[in-house]
Amino acid sequence: MEFVLYEVKDAVGVITINREKALNALNSQVLDELNQTLDGVDLETIRCLILTGAGEKSFVAGADIGEMSTLTKAEGEAFGKKGNDVFRKLETFPIPVIAAVNGFALGGGCEISMSCDIRICSENAVFGQPEAGLGITPGFGGTQRLARLVGPGMAKQMIYTARNIKADEALRIGLVNAVYPQDELMAQAEKMAAGIAKNAPIAVRNCKKAINDGLDADMDEAIVIEEKLFGDCFETEDQRYGMKCFLEKVKDKEPFKNK
């Protein structure tokens, strides 16, 4: 991998987009390497992922405009599909993904952060969908995920005006969950990921699936989705062990086994 780093810290995997000279912009190679990295995550041992960008200036500054500038209509659609396929894989990845947004998250950077389950950012973070100012639409899911996260009115305002917003406004509109000083961001992301990793892994995965699948269904269908995933947990050793510890008031229980 030339542009994507992957390291494991206990039960947490950290993916770093490492194209710092280009502010971690997404070209075809970065997208391919991200795809390969996700395929290589060991889901038996890794219980949460953190996605971040190298350096302090930029999470992901966007898709690579140099690569996009000469695309034909068919090539533009194909590039959009390449990004969407990777981002959808991230969005539906079995385990939770936390975006630790350090600096610019513009265009494809904002879009990839929205494909993660949870977004936290540093005080210097800047979010935006500037595509309309470049003569294009958001192409990696921005028109869809932003409206779902912050509401259609705010999403349309951000996309139509192509105006960037800072960390405090991103927090106010619900685009991010928390804002931290730059030097605390990764420690806070790792703390959150470790907290997720301590819980029963199958239950956490089922929670993610229930939320994601339920958002695409009406309430009657969504409740059935939850019922089935709830029921599935009762076939696991982790459920039996977790409830046994609760009933017996065990304080220092052993880690869940992912079984």
Active site residues: 111, 131
How far is residue 256's CA from residue 204's CA, in Å, rounded to a whole number?
11
In DSSP terms, 50 is beta-bridged to: 14, 98
77 Cα distance to chain centroid: 23
Among the listed residues 213, 199, 194, 192, the one whose alpha carbon sits nearest the alpha carbon of residue 242: 199
Closest residue by Cα to residue 155 from 132, 135, 134: 132
Distance CA 218, CA 192 (A): 31
Find out whether 85 and 46 touch, Cβ atoms under 8 Å. no
Contacts of residue 211, defined as CB under 8 A and 6 or more positions apart, other chains included, come to none
Whether 165 contacts 105, CB under 8 Å: no
Which of 98, 179, 105, 100 minimizes the C-alpha distance to 142? Answer: 105
CA dist., res. 149 & res. 120, Å (int) = 14
Question: How many angstroms separate the CA atoms of 241 and 239, rounded?
Answer: 5
For residue 114, give the DSSP letter: H
Using the structure block, give the residue that is written with the tokens 């709830």: 230
Distances (CA, A) of 253 to 100, 245, 249: 30, 7, 10
